[in-house]
A and B are shown apart, each in its own frame.
Chain A
Amino acid sequence: MAWLMAIGQPLLFILIAPLLTGWIKFVKCRLQNRKAPSLLQPYRDLRKLWVKEAILPETASWIFSAAPVIVFAAMLLAAAIVPLVAVNLPTARIADVFVMVGFFALARTFLVLAGMDIGTAFGGMGASREMTISSMAEPAMLMVVFTLAMSAQTTNLSLAMQYVLDSGLVLRPSFVFALAALMLVAIAETGRIPIDNPATHLELTMIHEAMILEYSGRYLALMEWASQIKLMLYGVLIANMFFPWHIATDFSLEALAEGLLAIVLKLAALSVLLAFSETLLAKMRIFRVQEFLSFAYLLSVLGMLSHIILEVYYG
């Protein structure tokens, strides 16, 4: 049953991720007094891309056509180790939370390489910006993970969530810092406003879109799908790492249903928050991003230090 869940959860990720994107778009449109597309629009887009002829640039090497598969696979693997509806995930033992950060890095590396493969100006521009942003976001992410791992005495995500669940509602200063830092990192890493704007193809501001500009057809679909999964992964991480309540702890049908309902509601709420911030904020100038991210890094290090100073009692 546990292994069934381990296979089921990533599949659930694949299936729900476009819906989450649709939901964010929906909320954003309503907030901005626009008519919203259907919640199912991302699925339609994916299907449309799926049946279209793919055009590969003449200058593309094998990296370009392999990258979508690698990026998608890395996201799938990351999804396989993050508990979604139930803890006790056996796959979380195979790869701990540091490895998850590693999977993100692997996906990013191939995304960037694919962007540089064609030799257009945009590819390099997106690649350079993506690596700059991630080189500041990833350490912040790791420090958040460090704080969590030090509190829970484990780097196994499933056990860490179990620990937070078991210790009940305790207000820890370190977790407040870590949560704030992780939210900033999530915004940067998933390319949302104010770092990047997923809805724009304005030449000089693109980051993620610039790297995948030359993709089309199925290749593009796979890339888009992977980035939707990534968005959902960050959402689930925030929701289940800091607010794991009502996640299923056994595999009974009621518990699983409760877990599913809980995560859907949590993600829906987080999305509303994201939509609000995207509506209220404007995109930053690229050289302001470093301040945003060093703030995240600072918060995460503060979180870790406050854990060490305030929360560890030694014998």
Chain B
Amino acid sequence: MPMTLFFALLSVLMALLSAVSSLAYSRLALVEYLLNRIFAFDSSRLAKVALFLEPDYYARAMRILPFCLLGVSGTLAVLTGLLQLLGADSAAMILPFGLPGLSWHVRIDALSGFFFLVLGMPLIAVSLFGPGYVREFEHKKSLEVLGFFTGLFVAGMEMVLLADDTFFFMIAWELMSVASYFLVAFQHEQPESRRAAFLYLLMAEIGALCIILGFGVLVTFAEGFSFGHIRGVALTPLWASVAFALGLAGFGMKAGLIPLHAWLPEAHPAAPSHISALMSGVMLKIAVYGFIRYCFDLLPQVFWQWGVAVIAAGAVSAVLGILYALQQQQLKRLLAYSSVENIGIIFLSIGLALVFFSTGQSQSGALALLAALLHSFNHAQFKTLLFLGAGAILHQTHETSLEKMGGLIRRMPKTAALFLAGTLSIASLPPLNGFVSEWLTFQAALQANQLQSGVLRSFVPTAAAMLALTGALSAACFVKVYGIAFLGLPRSPHIAHARELTDRGMLAGLALPAALCIVVGIFPVPLIDGLRRVIENLTGAVLANISATGWLWLTPAGAETASYSPGLVLAAFLAAGALGYVLLYRIRAVESRRAEPWDCGYGGLNAGMQYTSGAFSMPIRRIFDPVYDLRETLNQETGDSAGWRVTAIRYQFQADDKFVRFLYTPIGRSVTQSAHRLGRIQTGSIRTYLAYSFATLLFLLWVVS
């Protein structure tokens, strides 16, 4: 068996083992019995076993063990990915499971290898962060359930990447969806968690249904269920478009494209933070993987109309996603909406790639696809970091609302520094990684000049205009998050007494993605070289230019057209910063002293004088008013009878998604109504049912004869 496939399968196995091992958490007696039976004949070892079986020690070990196994699984996934990116051949195998005659086909190639890398890095971070984080649940909730479904969830995602036939793909896909349903429902004593989990399950299943139907179309015309058979399928444009539309709906629903996103901002915040990190950082990328595999590998040809549809969906998701994110007051909910935005950016790039490939511009198409893949990787890093950061705040202060936070940089300096790296990356500022993928997307959009159709030529830059707006708004959004949560004065007592994380593992879990954000931002070329291989493998297009000038330079379409060298930018930045530092502190330095800030003469600055999160984004709420479902209440108490002197004022607002009110609620209502109508035929009387059976029988006889 080739090395990469071996590692990948081992990685799945480790995730499953992690699931099984967490079942042992509260089964001390059983484990004791088993171990005693095993070691009964060797009394010298028994002492060690007895030590292990001390209840406290056992509980601690069993809390950590599943995460260790997940970490091993993540490391193996990273290894698989790296080997594939470095040029390992693709490898396939048939596993002796599944239905008779329909064994599970597994295959690993450069594309799935890359997504193993995307999956592995956050998984390692989560496995470092997890043991400290779940301690909170230790006495309140069942860690077995959490660990078991986490393991299954990860295994499901890895199996999706490995699947090479439609059956196995769907089994893995459902495993991923259902296992994550239990994770979303983990805090089921809260009604909103139950509601979120139900909505999530419902939409995941509708999405899965779309994918099954899409596969159904392909399989009907192909000779078998395996992807190998499907690759060669010949489809009429109409059937190909039907299959594409089903795929876009199915994968788009999992990825959270607007308007199929309603589950996402509910489900991600409901899960424990390390699971949110996995769902947002990794699971959405699995959907992206599915879509890329489906469009570029399985479907026989692509049409530019598809590209236009995907670009439109992506652009709408990006702009609306970030506009909704800006108005959220719950940190994790905000991050979830920002995932919608980032998925939008990824789909926008994929759409660009579809347009370029369908019009024969394979170089530009490859560039756009590269941007999409790189942004998937980057988003996995910084979103993991931000969700884990939100988890760290939650763990230390039990607070999720931005309106209550403030000044955490003084209480939790290390967390604050690491979170800053994530903030700057997601706001796509140079020289961090988010900027590199945004830059590449712009460069891809600039290639629109090569398109022949005038409509497309003006459509693509308009999409770039939307992307520019998204970028600027996301900077505003995350500056707000950082400024409100970490800077200023604490807005509530428990935030004022927050303590820094003491668990080294949790800090390491934050530090790993932060380091990757910085390293990939500064030296993106090695990763991009690997991605070139992925794209060549997938589409046959060779991106010759992109790193032609050397490992320091990005030159997507030739050095004359555009070039960016993040490494040199950093060097120059350090030099300029050193100049600023010398000017500030070295040349005939004057003493500085600390004093109270200006409080407008009211006597003492207090936290209530600061802008709140809602106030910060108020101008944007006014400007983009039509996209929000805005509910505001303003209560004023007046001190005198004439009502001139206001003594107390209370303002509340809720800026919700318009889609929930104008799309989902009506659908839900009409489903309930039609169910009621259907219910009328259920009379409960046996005679009526016999009549129904008789009528059906007659009808069938008529059909058959």
Contacts and interface: CB of A to CB of B under 8 A. Distances in A.
A314 B623 contact: no
B409 A222 contact: no
Contact of A119 (B430, B446, B487, B559): B487
A286 B588 CA distance: 42
Nearest to B619: A132
B615 A128 contact: yes
B364 to A, nearest CB: 13
B616 A127 contact: yes
Interface in A107-142: 108-109, 112-113, 115-125, 127-129, 131-132, 134-139, 142
B605 A59 contact: yes
Contacts of B617: 128
A76 B576 contact: yes
A305 interface: yes
Interface in A73-93: 73-74, 76-77, 80, 91, 93
A124 B615 contact: yes
Interface in B579-617: 579-581, 583-584, 588, 590-600, 605, 607, 609-611, 615-617
A134 B289 CA distance: 34
B472 A73 contact: no
Contacts of A218: 583-584, 590
A154 to B, nearest CB: 5
Interface string B386-423: 00000000000000000000110110000000000000
A53 interface: yes
Interface residues of B, number: 83
A150 B449 contact: yes
A191 to B, nearest CB: 16
B446 A99 contact: no
Interface centre among A68, A150, A309 (most CB of B within 10 A): A150
A62 B414 CA distance: 12
A130 B599 CA distance: 21
Contact of B468 (A61, A139, A149, A159): A139
B119 interface: no
Contact of A153 (B449, B464, B569, B576): B449
A291 B488 CA distance: 31
Interface string A28-57: 000000000000000000000011111111
Given A124-B615, A128-B611, A132-B476, A154 B562 contact: yes
Contact of B458 (A74, A91, A112, A309): A309
Contacts of A304: 461, 465
B602 to A, nearest CB: 10
A196 to B, nearest CB: 14
Contacts of A315: 452
Interface in B465-490: 465, 468-469, 471-473, 475-476, 479-480, 482-484, 487-489
Nearest to B406: A119
A134 B623 CA distance: 13
A5 interface: no
Nearest to A306: B458
In terms of DSSP, what is the predominant structure of the interface of chain A?
A: helix
Given A70-B577, A99-B564, A109-B479, A128 B619 contact: yes
A268 interface: no
Given A54-B592, A55-B595, A94-B564, A119 B579 contact: no
A106 B428 CA distance: 9
Contacts of B611: 116, 121, 123-125, 127-128
Interface stretch (B207-215, B337-345, B435-443): B435-443
Interface centre among A56, A60, A98 (most CB of B within 10 A): A98
Nearest to A290: B623
A105 B487 contact: no
A272 B600 CA distance: 37
Contact of B461 (A62, A136, A146): A146
In terms of DSSP, what is the predominant structure of the interface of chain B?
A: helix
Contacts of B544: none
Contacts of A59: 407, 488-489, 597, 605
A58 interface: yes
B622 interface: yes
A138 B479 contact: no
A106 B592 contact: no
Contacts of B583: 72, 218, 222
Interface string B546-567: 0000000000000111111100
B581 to A, nearest CB: 6
Nearest to A203: B600
A21 interface: no
A52 B591 CA distance: 9
B568 A119 contact: no
A121 B599 CA distance: 8
A219 interface: yes
B242 interface: no
Given A117-B487, A135-B620, A112 B479 contact: yes
B219 interface: no
B435 A102 contact: yes
A95 B487 contact: no
Contact of A73 (B576, B605, B610): B576
A214 B597 contact: yes
Contacts of A290: 619, 622-623
A58 B564 contact: no
B429 interface: yes
Nearest to B451: A314
Interface in A143-161: 143, 146, 149-150, 153-156, 159
Ranked 8 nearest A-B pairs via Cβ: A124-B611, A116-B483, A73-B576, A119-B489, A57-B597, A119-B488, A54-B592, A69-B580
Given A136-B469, A304-B461, 14 more contacts: A57-B597, A61-B409, A68-B580, A76-B580, A77-B573, A91-B572, A99-B439, A119-B597, A123-B611, A124-B616, A127-B483, A128-B615, A131-B480, A156-B560
21 contacts: A55-B594, A55-B595, A57-B597, A59-B597, A74-B576, A80-B576, A105-B475, A106-B424, A113-B479, A119-B488, A123-B488, A124-B611, A127-B611, A134-B475, A142-B468, A143-B464, A149-B562, A155-B443, A156-B560, A286-B619, A287-B623
Interface of A: 50-63, 68-70, 72-74, 76-77, 80, 91, 93-96, 98-99, 102-103, 105-106, 108-109, 112-113, 115-125, 127-129, 131-132, 134-139, 142-143, 146, 149-150, 153-156, 159, 203, 213-214, 217-219, 222, 286-287, 290, 297, 301, 304-305, 308-309, 312, 314-315
